[in-house]
Structure 1
Amino acid sequence: MELKPEQLVAQLGLDQATPPSLRPAYLIAGPEPLRVLEAADAVRAAARRQGIAEREVFEAEGNQREPDWNGLSASFRAPSLFASRRLVEVRLPSGKPGKEGAEVISDFCADPPMDVVLMVTAGEWSKQHGGKWSEAIGRIGLVAVAWAVKPHELPDWIERRLRQHGLRADRDAVQNLADRVEGNLLAAAQEIDKLALLSDGSTLDSAKITALVADAARYDVFRLVDAAMNGNGAQVAHMLAGLRAEGEAVPALLGMVVMELQRAAALARVQAKGGNLANEFKAQRIWDSKQPMYRRALQRHVAPRWDAFVAEAGRVDRIAKGRGRVGEEPADAWLALERLLLAVAEPRAAKLLTVTRS
């Protein structure tokens, strides 16, 4: 039986005085790590409530590409040493157990030991990943697939999570948060956790969410990059000063900066060739609400300039890590990052960059 991760959590009955018995096997898989993690945590919590204190984990270690299938098979046959029942976890990042692993899991499902609850988790999943082994789990247990939340589904997901934290928010507030996290469920969950701590109990509107989030972290890399892409150089300089004052490190910011510059560079190349920009937005997983920002940024710079920005970000990284080339200026990574983002925001500032000088 296939469920959504949230449906699996509900079936486990963690909020009930007497939760239902655990199934012999569970498969929790999918490309959305937060949903996989929380569903797996719920199975572990349900196991603890039912007195299952012993847990074994099988995963690839060292140079191994797969878990120790022989060890797993032996564990299934061996009696528990410390408890009457145990939870055995098998972690498959690729979502594929291979022929040997599929046989071990199928054999378990054909005659599951009374003292073992099997939980298989996988970080990747598609119709091609499944097979007789996953069907076998479905026959004796439950399969939960954590598909990525689609853009139009995210506001409802956020609203449900807000309610779980005892928070009320209007639709504009929910959309504000959805736009901010851009489909990143982990980021959304972290923001909601902060809102639960900062809220005074009243209904959250869009302005209040913005204010509360700003109070929790006055300057963040998401808004920093947005300011650069939107052409707001003054805001870029102000935010960078705040981040530096708060003790942030340049390398910690560069991941998001590089990702956005690479996205823009890819869009610029498609646009320069007369390609379908809408398809590229989809390929880059850029939400409708963010597309106008990118379109404005593409109007300010031609395709080669975006590639130069990506190269400049690499130079900033070298400087930040103390590996700058002899004679490179500036030696201050913060100043180098500021010049880069100001150049993104304002074409006239591009002359400050070494890699864009003719």
Structure 2
Amino acid sequence: MKIYHNQLMQTLQRNFIPVWLVFGDEPWQKNNSLTTIKSYAKSQGFDEIIRFSSDSSFDWQQLLDEYQSMSLFASLRIIELELSSGKIGDAGSKVMLELIDKLRQDAADGQQNQDVIFIIHGDKLDTATVNRKWFKGLSQLGCYLPLYDIDAKALPRWLNNQARELQLNLTPDLNSLLIELFEGNLPALEQELQKLSILFGSNVIDLAQAEQLVIKQAKFNPFQILDALLQGNLKKCIAMLDQLQQEGTAATQLVWLFHKELNQIYTMLNQLEQGVALNDLYKQYRIWDKRKPIYQHALSNIKLAHVKLALTRLADIDLTSKTTTEFNAFILLADLCITLYHGDKTKQFALDYH
């Protein structure tokens, strides 16, 4: 069974689930999911947690031994396994398949062991791992909870849900401020909401009351800049560049990412001019359904000549960042973002980067 984070509590309350698979890179959802599962299990009497971590020296047989052993401390146990990688090797696959057979046999014999819950978690899994026999078998026996990033579109709904749980009464202006300041850093935003809950309770909190209390802790990764750029949100691109510069991100890392993305956009625009269908391009470049609107906006609003100009300037930025400290590469990258949509205006500025 596969569910999403917002279905977790409802699923927990429905019936006993012997295996939980929690995988993804978004830290708030991962921590919240694991805490929720363990807290609910504890309320049902699962007081003992046995923890394993699959490092290079891990003995996989311990999982089977622990499942079949009698606890010395509690009758109800949680066996927690953190996977350092979804690639568990032959030894791990063999034990997982044996464990699946044992769980299935116990259920078929009418002796399903409801004294043990497995919680297996780790980073985001690739498609190949999700389709492995051992992972499919565990998913069929239990519940797979993939954790996806909460993007800017979904963040307002997340914020409203959290405010409702904390009985916070936020004005629309304050909602907008919190989203702007904490996008990309849900753990910090949750802490800020907790703080507002302590200070204001259920009273209405307006912008003036809160703006002196909140601290700008938004965190962005370089890939989010590319999304904002493809969506044409230049103000957000520049804000992200500023934030990454303050965090010490290397400009050369961004140059490489921009070059890869702009080259792809340039090639796609060329193919569109040659009559290639947009859906065929999505298949060729493996554009996920969720990202198709982003690329559709970019391909509809970016001119081929502007991409060519942007690539020329990017080559100058790359050379400058490696040969001199006289210029701020992040300012030049901001110029690059503007050029992509307004190259007809920026081309008149013959910036001498050298």
> Could you state the TM-score of these two structures normalised by the residue count of structure 1?
0.61
2:48 to 39, 43, 53: 53
Letter of the 2:264 counterpart: A
Q: CA deviation at 1:44?
A: 2.2
- C-alpha deviation, 1:143, in angstroms: 0.9
1:105 Cα shift?
2.5
In structure 2, the residue matched to 1:17 is none
Q: What secondary structure, in the 3-state scheme, does the structure 1 residue paired with 2:101 have?
A: helix
Who is 2:249 aligned against? Answer: 251
> Which residue does the alignment assign to 1:216?
215
The C-alpha deviation readout for 1:230-260, integer Å capped at 9, x for no partner, is 667xx95x997x869xx92431787678656
Give the Cα–Cα distance (whole angstroms) in 2 for the partners of residues 3 and 288 of structure 1.
25
**1:161 partner letter:** Q
276 and 68 in structure 1: CA distance in 2 versus 1, 3 angstrom threshold: farther
How many residue pairs align between the two structures? 317
Indicate how the Cα distance of structure 1 residues 176 and 307 shifts in structure 2: closer, same or farther if over 3 A, else same: farther
TM-score computed with the length of structure 2 as normaliser: 0.61
Spell out the pairing of 1:1-358 with structure 2 (5 A cutoff): 2-12=2-12, 23-29=17-23, 34-49=28-43, 50=45, 52-59=47-54, 61-62=55-56, 68-80=59-71, 82-92=73-83, 93-94=85-86, 99-109=93-103, 110-111=105-106, 115-121=115-121, 123-124=124-125, 129=131, 131=133, 134-135=136-137, 138-139=140-141, 142-146=142-146, 148=148, 156-168=157-169, 187=185, 190-191=188-189, 193-194=191-192, 197=195, 201-202=203-204, 212=211, 216-217=215-216, 248-251=246-249, 259=257, 262-274=260-272, 283=287, 286=291, 288=293, 298-299=302-303, 302-308=306-312, 324=322, 328-331=323-326, 335-345=328-338, 346-349=346-349, 351-353=351-353
Give the direction of change, closer, same or farther, for the CA distance of 1:217–1:170 in structure 2 (3 Å limit).
closer
The one-letter code matched in structure 2 to 1:55 is I
Alpha-carbon RMSD across the aligned residues, in angstroms, is 5.3
The answer (yes or no) to whether the contact 2:24–2:30 under 8 Å persists in 1 is yes
Amino acid at match of 2:61: N
Using the alignment, how far apart are the partners of 1:303 and 1:12 within structure 2? 50
- Between the aligned partners of 2:127 and 2:234, the Cα distance in structure 1 is 40
Q: Contact 1:27/1:144 (CA < 8 Å) preserved in 2?
A: yes
CA offset digits 1:43-101 (Å, max 9, x no partner)? 22234443523322242x24x7xx63223223323443554443212345438786414
- The question of whether the paired residues in 1 share the 8 Å contact of 2:269 and 2:304 is answered with no
Helix, strand or coil at the partner of 1:166:
coil
In 2, Cα distance between equivalents of 1:249 and 1:42? 32
Indicate how the Cα distance of structure 1 residues 239 and 115 shifts in structure 2: closer, same or farther if over 3 A, else same: closer
CA 1:180–1:129: 2 relative to 1, 3 Å: farther
Aligned residues of 1:96 and 1:129 also touching (Cα < 8 A): no
Report sequence identity in percent.
15
* Contact 1:265–1:306 under 8 Å retained in 2: no
| Equivalent-residue separation in structure 2 for 1:202 and 1:192 (angstroms) | 18
For 2:215, the aligned partner's letter is A
Tell me the SS of whatever aligns to 2:249: helix
Deviation string 1:188-217 (CA, Å, 9 cap, x unpaired) is 56445435545864377xxx59x9599632
